Chain A
Amino acid sequence: MTPLLQVKGVTKHYGARLGCGDVSLDLYPGEVMGIVGESGSGKSTLLSCLAGHLMPDAGEVIYDTRAQGPRDVLGMSEPERRMLGRTDWAFVHQNPRDGLRMGVSAGANVGERLMAVGARHYGQIREQAVDWLGRVEIAADRIDDRPRAFSGGMQQRLQIARNLVTGPRLVFMDEPTGGLDVSVQARLLDLLRGLVREMGLSAIVVTHDLAVVRLLADRLMVMKDGAVVETGLTDQVLDDPQHGYTQLLVSSVLQV
């Protein structure tokens, strides 16, 4: 089986300071990979490099495209990368305000990606928007409301609907449950897990919340000071951590 995403030696410096160094990984279809580490460990830098938001100094990000098979995303032209970014890829930001258009209705937020790839039938766009709002548990009668009128959890679910409407195969998530109430987090996790399974999504989830990765990720990568210190099955890394930093991370979690 060909990996959906192959990352080889991705390195990014900010001036003299290392953002992330020599990171390699393979992600297979249907796999969810968690990346954990404290603030400044380079996990968000890595995610930005993989998602094409940042150009790394070195390395390759090879994606198995639908039309042409494996291609280095970093070597693509910007229009190609943008097209990928709004069809086959999705990016869920921590703060829904970064991923939503706050000034237009929920329906338009969901429909934008469809319109960007050429949908020109209002009725069909709206139908799909209603369908997706339902799938993320937002009532159909909220379709013409702006996201400002939504709670934080609803905004995050709207962001997910907006991203998944074009049926992507790879989803990047940056702290998807950060900043949400614990009860809302659980609901979102449940939703994400269901969508991942139903749609066969592959995902890379960056978070500092170990409970989130335990429930969401099949595999785990632990980062510290820009480097990967440990990888493996999520439950194995959390229950039998090998690296000192991971041991510290796991033992530092407050128990309820």
Chain B
Amino acid sequence: MSIMEYNGGSVIAMVGKDCVAIASDLRLGNQALGISSNFQKIFPVTDRIYVGLPGLATDVTTLRERFRYRVNMYTIKEEREIEPETFAHLVSSTLYEHRFGPYFIEPVMAGLSKTPSGGLKPFIAATDLIGCLNFAKDFVVAGTASSKLYGVAEGLWEPGLEPEDLFETISQTILNAVDRDAYSGWGCIVHVITKDKVVSRTLKGRMD
């Protein structure tokens, strides 16, 4: 019995052309027994940053609360919103604080960061459960279906996808990946972040 697989669940984030997308499944289980088909693992951090927290469900809630607190404190002290890169390091250091008794979560982040010229640049990152950062250029995955997500994403993803095409790509990736994972599934949610809006869609999936 692995703690990382106790509740199940998976998250993926992808980069597109001037946009990013992040998606997760909605299952909460106790090993093989499904408890909930509406357990959110992705949370908004700012208007332009989302974080996905697959892993042990109690730590999903605890870390969400911790990140919310730390980001609020940052916003108050700095009098500005946190940037994705900064948030990624905040996540990393929060996890590393518990190096020898970790939170059993592998966070995935997606956002748009400000460039010096005033534009917005897609940003994605993921860490392991002790906060080792991975800044990927294409996509990042985590959770019980991670190997399946890697396989499908590697086959479907291409550079420079427009928001609607990115939505289709990430949706197909997560749906087909979780259908081959007993611990993930029971519906999915997808967020596509663009410069002027975030589009969130809940997807119907197989319920077995």
A binds B: no
Interface residues in chain A, defined as those with a beta carbon under 8 Å from any beta carbon in chain B: none
Interface residues in chain B, defined as those with a beta carbon under 8 Å from any beta carbon in chain A: none
